[in-house]
Structure 1
Amino acid sequence: MALALALILIVVGTLAFHLWSPWWLTPLASNWQAMDDALMLTLGITAAIFVIINLFVAYAVIKFRHRDGVRASAEHGSKKLEWWLIGVTTVGIVVMLAPGLDVYAKLITAPADAMQFEVMGQQWQWHYRLPGKDGRMGQTDVSHISPENPFGVSAKDPNGQDDVLVDTQEIHIPLNRPVKVLLRSQDVLHDFYVPQFRTRMNMVPGMVTSFWFTPTRTGRFEVMCAQLCGIGHANMRGYVVVEEEAAYAAWLAAQPTFAARMRAGAAGGAGVAAAAAGAGSQAA
């Protein structure tokens, strides 16, 4: 009886915690309400199964408890019951998986008019790149990656010269415009995750993955890495700032281009070499 009572209390306590818990979904800030709907459907089905199984076990403990003078009789299976269990389980799995697969298919199919930006994950920071005035991003290759060129943009590709490089851990995007996010990793497996957007995707070395969303409210939203990527994983944080079009345009105009960054790097390298040569001549 004590076990049956414990199971009943577990069910009641679990339902009460989930219904009145202060730790729930963050307010939605994108178009992906379908993500929440799929999650709630899965949670509802699994909650129902959790309640049914535990209450059934509690019932069985009480119903078939030991009683003096009563002996248990063996039953060697029931095909009818087995087919019912197979059918109900199959329907439940299909109902849970189908909406998620549908949402995922839509998540990776960006609208044709979506603006783009690229995220490069690196232990333990984010790098961001946007297309320049030509609307196209330059070609990249791992052989071109350096401290000055974390994206590995090809210096010979004219489409990459006006690419906008974001030096800070903060990317800005305009409100109510669909955005396609291209994801790459420089070293290990990362995952670009903004809870309020309900979107996330693994960043796999050697691959370009993507998803899209439309931000629906302004604000400053924290970016987290959702894959354990090393000892500095917890510090791999950044921000996505959603703002009105005019504020976004002003921010974008203030960011350096790939060509400007390469010129600055070359000038800095020449200055260091000249200083080293001068120091050598003075020592002589």
Structure 2
Amino acid sequence: MVVVVALVSVVVGSVLFHLLSPWWWPPIASNWGYIDATLIITFWITGIVFATVVLFMAYCVWRFRHRPGRTAEFDPENRRLETGLTVVTALGVAAMLAPGLIVWKHFVTVPDDAATVEVFAQQWSWSFRMPGADGRLGTADLRLLDSGNPLGLNPYDRFAQDDVIVEAADLHLPVGRPVKMVLRSVDVLHDFYVPEFRAKMDLVPGMVTYFWFTPTRTGEFEILCAELCGIGHAVMRGYVQIQEEADFQAWLQGQQTFAQLRESSSAGP
């Protein structure tokens, strides 16, 4: 009976913890609703399976406990049970996959009016790039990286000259404006993650990945690397500041462009 009570307590405690947990992140971006809905669907499906299996174990421990004179019965196959479990498992997996596919399509279908911000990851810091007055990012190549060109921008691309460079510092974004996050890594696998955004995406060397969202609340929120990327992984952090439009523009005007960065680098000490 001790084992039975322990198993039932695990199920009841797990359900109560899920329902009463105070540790849900607050919604601060447009994609929080459908991401949370997908997570809740997954929680309930896996939770029902977990509760069913554990309660069945508790029933078996109680129902088939040792009694004098009782012998075991060997029944290696049960076609009806196997068919039922296969069908139920297939339906459960499909119910978890279908919402994820719908959410993924929305996650990567960027609105036409979205601004573009490039996230640049390297061991162990975050840097960022934004379009300048021309409204578009110039081309870049990691083979062009050097001390005067920390993001590998093409110095011969006229669209790159006014690109705003935010090197190893906080990212600022305006509230209420959709933004496409374009992700690059210079060295190893990283993962850009802001928990309150309900958004994360791997940065894969040699690839460009992306996602989009619309910030819906001002404030300061921590950027984490959610992929083990070396000995300094734990300190690869930053902050994103969500600001009103006027405050964001004031910050943006104080940042240096690629042309200014090259000029200051070539001038030397």
In the alignment, which residue of structure 1 is the partner of 2:111? 111
**Larger Rg: 1 or 2?**
1
- What is the TM-score when the length of structure 1 is the normalising length? 0.91
Residue 28 (str. 1) matches residue 33 (str. 2):
no
Greater Cα offset, 3-12 or 88-97: 3-12
Quote the offset at 1:168 in angstroms.
Answer: 4.6
List structure 1 segments (4+ residues) > 4 angstroms apart after TM superposition. Answer: none
Letter in 2 for 1:262: R
| CA–CA distance in structure 2, aligned partners of residues 100 and 166 of structure 1 | 33
Quote the offset at 1:209 in angstroms.
Answer: 0.4
TM alignment of 1:222-237, pairs within 5 A: 222-237=222-237
In the alignment, which residue of structure 2 is the partner of 1:160? 160
TM alignment of 1:4-153, pairs within 5 A: 4-22=4-22, 24-32=23-31, 33-153=33-153
TM alignment of 1:214-225, pairs within 5 A: 214-225=214-225
5+ residue gaps, structure 1, are: 272-284
- What is the TM-score when the length of structure 2 is the normalising length? 0.96
Letter in 1 for 2:100: G
Matched residue of 2:30: which SS? coil
1:115-153 superposed Cα distances (whole Å, 9 cap, x missing partner) = 001010011111110011111111111221012212100
In the alignment, which residue of structure 2 is the partner of 1:276? none
Letter in 2 for 1:84: G
TM alignment of 1:245-260, pairs within 5 A: 245-260=245-260
Greater Cα offset, 2-11 or 188-197: 2-11
In the alignment, which residue of structure 2 is the partner of 1:211? 211
| CA–CA distance in structure 2, aligned partners of residues 44 and 147 of structure 1 | 51
In the alignment, which residue of structure 1 is the partner of 2:191? 191
2:126/2:167 contact within 8 Å kept: no
Letter in 2 for 1:29: I
| CA–CA distance in structure 2, aligned partners of residues 261 and 198 of structure 1 | 34
1:127/1:150 contact within 8 Å kept: no
Report the count of equivalent residues: 268
| CA–CA distance in structure 1, aligned partners of residues 24 and 6 of structure 2 | 29
| CA–CA distance in structure 2, aligned partners of residues 75 and 34 of structure 1 | 45
Letter in 2 for 1:197: F
| CA–CA distance in structure 1, aligned partners of residues 104 and 30 of structure 2 | 14
Letter in 1 for 2:27: L
| CA–CA distance in structure 1, aligned partners of residues 220 and 178 of structure 2 | 17
2:122/2:185 contact within 8 Å kept: yes
| CA–CA distance in structure 2, aligned partners of residues 193 and 69 of structure 1 | 60
| CA–CA distance in structure 2, aligned partners of residues 227 and 14 of structure 1 | 27
Quote the offset at 1:76 in angstroms.
Answer: 3.4
| CA–CA distance in structure 2, aligned partners of residues 167 and 61 of structure 1 | 61
| CA–CA distance in structure 1, aligned partners of residues 67 and 254 of structure 2 | 82
| CA–CA distance in structure 2, aligned partners of residues 182 and 21 of structure 1 | 34
2:125/2:236 contact within 8 Å kept: yes
Percent of pairs with identical residues: 50
Quote the offset at 1:25 in angstroms.
Answer: 1.8
Matched residue of 1:212: which SS? strand
2:148/2:266 contact within 8 Å kept: no
